[in-house]
């Protein structure tokens, strides 16, 4: 059995990526553009970005 690999483009919105983590129960997604691996997006990355966005809105 082969697992489906879901690649995300680098411009994937934060909320869409978070929803994919919840729906697919994966720890990381590859970020791919034009067939080239740019990096990996982890659940920790989503949490960090969410915290930073929230912190910015609190200080404004």
Name the residue ranges covered by the structural domains of the chain.
Answer: 14-59
Q: pTM to 2 decimals?
A: 0.77
3-state helix, strand, coil in the chain (%, to 5): 45, 25, 30
**Would you state the pLDDT for residue 49?**
87
Q: What is the DSSP letter of 5?
A: P
Longest Cα–Cα distance in the chain: 50
Q: How many C-beta atoms surround the C-beta of residue 7 within 10 A?
A: 13
Contact present, 30 and 20 (Cβ < 8 Å): no
CA 41 to chain centre: 5
Q: Chunk the chain into consecutive blocks of 10 residues (it has 60) and report each block's average pLDDT, rounded to whole numbers.
A: 86 92 91 96 91 71
């Amino acid at each position: 059995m082969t697992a489906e690999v879901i690649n995300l483009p680098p411009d994937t919105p934060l909320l869409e990526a978070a929803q994919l983590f919840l729906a697919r129960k994966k720890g990381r997604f590859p970020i791919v553009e034009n067939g080239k691996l740019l990096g990996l997006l982890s659940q920790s990355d989503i949490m960090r970005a969410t915290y930073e966005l929230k912190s910015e809105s609190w200080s404004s």
